[in-house]
Chain A
Amino acid sequence: MTAETGLALELRGVSKRFGALAALSDIELRVRPGERRAVLGSNGAGKTTLFNCITGDFPPSSGAIRFFGEDVTSFPAQERIRRGLRRTYQISLLFTGLSVLDNVYLACRGVSRGRFSFRRPRASDALMQTAEELVTTVHLQEVRNTRVSDLSYGQQRQLEIAMALSGAPRFILFDEPAAGLSPTERRELIAILTGLPGHVGYIIIEHDMDVALRVSERVTMMHNGRIFKEGKPAEIEDDPEVQALYLGGAAHG
C-alpha cells in the first residue's frame, strides 16, 4: 500500500459493517494539512460512523487510515488523540459537575505528561494558562467558573469546541457543531471556525448548508455509506444531482 505523502488524513477502502448493514462502503478520502472540509449527507448516510472510524471510537471492518502519513488503523482512541487528532461529539459528553475552565483544563492535561498529580496547579501553571486562553477563544470567559450543567445548550457546544482545541491539535472532526444553535450562536460558531489557526485542518459534519459552505474549502457528499461527490462549495451547490438528492427535498427540513 503506497501512502500519498503530505496528507493530513488518508482513508483507503474503509468499510464498516454492523451485522448485515453496511454503514460505510469503500470510503476513499484525502485531506491536506490545514484543509477545511465539509461532509454533507442525509441522516443515515454514515457521516458519524466515518468519524468514529477515524477517531478509533470503533475500528473499521476493513481498509486503512493514515494520519499524517502514519498508519493508525489499529491504534486506540487515546493514541490518536496524542498524535493531534480531536473530535467533538453530537451529544454532550462534557463533565457536567465541573466548571468550564476545569473541563478545558482536564482536556489539556489529558494530552500532557504527568496526568496523575496530587499537587494543585498554580495560577501561573502553563496548562491553566492555555485552558484560560482556549476558554477565551470560544467566548466563554464570562462563564469560565460556571458549572457546565448550568450552561445553555449553545454554550455547551462552544465548550465542546474549546476541548477539541486543547493540546495543540493538528486535525479536528466537528460533528454537527451548529445543531440546535440560535442564529446568533451560529454566527459566533462560524467566527470561531474561520478564526482557527491556519495549520489546523478539520472536517465538519453539518446539516445546515449555510454554515457548512461558509466554513469549508471543499465539500464531500455522502449517501448510503458511500461518497458520491466531492468538490468546491460552489460546484456542489450548483450540481444538479446534489440538488435533486439533498438540497431539493430534505435539506432545510
Chain B
Amino acid sequence: MAVLDAFDPARARDRNWIERVPPAYWVLGLLLLVMPAFAGDFVLYQIMGWTFLLGMIALSLMFLAGYGGMVSLAQMSFAGLAGYLVAIFGDSAITAISQGWPWWITIPLSLALTVLAATGVGWLAVRTEGIYTIMITLAIAAAFFYFTRQNYDLFNGFQGFNTILPPHLFGVDWRAPVPFYYLALFWAVAAYAAVLYLSRAPFGLALQGVRDNPRRMAALGYNVTAHRVAAYAFAGLIAGIGGILLTWQSSQISPGTIGIGPAIDVLVVAVIGGLRHPIGAFLGAFIFVLLKTFAVDVLISLGLSGERFQLLIGLCFLAIVFFSPDGLLGLWDRLRERGLRDPLTGRAKDDR
C-alpha cells in the first residue's frame, strides 16, 4: 500500500487531484459503483453493506490506533450510542420512549451528542497510555453495555428498540438493497477520504508525531492532550455515522449490538486489516463479514456440524496475525516487496 501513501509535493504540484488518484482506486471505485448491476440483494445488503458499516467503525479505531497510537475499545459503544439516540429522538416501535422528532433534528443531534461523549471518553482516556487506555475504554464499553441492559426508562433495557427506519428522503426507500448499498458506500468513501485527507493535514501529522514521540512534540510547542482528545472526537463522529447506518440496516438496536463481543470484534477487524493505512479497516471488515456469513456453510459442506463456526473464524484470524503482524496490509506489502526484488541478488529492482 506504499503507493497509496506516497505523497510527492514536487510531483503533485504539476497535477490536479484527479490525476493524483492511483489507478487501483479507479478500478476498485468503478467495480463498487457498478456492483448492483450483477450482484444479488444478499451480497449488496448483507455482505457489502455490512462491510462498509463495520469498516467505518473499524476505521474510527484505525484512526486512533494507527495515527494516534491509542487503542480504544469504546468505538462500538460510540456507534451504539448514536444508534440509540436516533431511536430515542426519532421513530421506533417503542412509542413510549421514542420522541418522533424529524430526521433533520434527530440525526445531527445524535451525532453531536455522540461526538460530545467521545470527547469526554477521550479526555479521560488520554491520561493513560498503552494497556491502560485499553482497560479504561473497555471499562467504559462494559459500563455502557450493562447500563443500556438495565435501564428501561431511556434505553428500553434488554429488548432495546426495533423498527428504526431511515427517512424516506427524495421518495427513496433507503432500506431497499440497492439504495442502502449506495448510501453505505457513500458514507464509507466519505469517511475514508476524510481520514486520508486529515492524515496529511497538520493535525494528522502532529497526531502521528504525538504517537511517535509525545515529549518532543510538547517541546516543539504542540498541545499533546488537545491533539489526542480531538482525535477521539473525530473518531467518534465516524463511529457515530457508522452506528446510525448499522441501526437502520438491521432496523433495531439493543444491548447485544454493543456488548463486549462486538467491541472486541472491531479491534479484530482493524488488526487483521492492518493499522497502517485506512483501507485496512475495510479489508478487515470484508474478511470478517465473509467469515461470519459463510463459516457455517463451509463447515457443513465439509460434513461437520455448523455449530463450530466460531472456531473456523478464530483459526483464520490466528493464521493472518501469525503470518503477518501488520495484518493483510503487511502481507500485501511483503509480497509486493518480494516481487520487486531481484531473485538472485535479493536487492531491490528499482533502486531509487
Contacts and interface: CB of A to CB of B under 8 A. Distances in A.
B209 A106 contact: yes
A95 B208 contact: yes
Choose among B202, B203, B223 the residue with the greatest number of A CB atoms under 10 Å from its CB.
B202
A93 B215 CA distance: 9
Nearest to B352: A142
B209 A128 contact: no
Interface of A: 57, 77-78, 81-82, 93-98, 101-103, 105-107, 109-111, 114-121, 123-124, 128, 132, 145
A95 B213 contact: yes
B212 A98 contact: yes
Contacts of A116: 202-203, 206, 223, 226-227, 230
Given A106-B220, A121-B202, A123-B12, A94 B213 contact: yes
A116 B208 CA distance: 13
B32 interface: no
Choose among A109, A124, A132 the residue with the greatest number of B CB atoms under 10 Å from its CB.
A109
Interface stretch (B2-10, B85-93, B129-137, B158-166): B2-10
A95 B8 CA distance: 19
**Chief secondary structure at chain B's binding surface:** helix
A82 B220 CA distance: 9
B218 interface: yes
Contacts of A82: 221
Contacts of B206: 106, 109, 115-116
A96 B212 CA distance: 6
A119 B201 contact: yes
A107 B213 contact: no
25 contacts: A77-B219, A94-B216, A95-B212, A96-B212, A97-B212, A98-B208, A106-B206, A106-B209, A106-B220, A109-B202, A111-B221, A115-B202, A115-B206, A115-B221, A115-B223, A117-B203, A118-B198, A118-B201, A120-B197, A120-B200, A120-B202, A121-B201, A123-B10, A123-B13, A145-B7
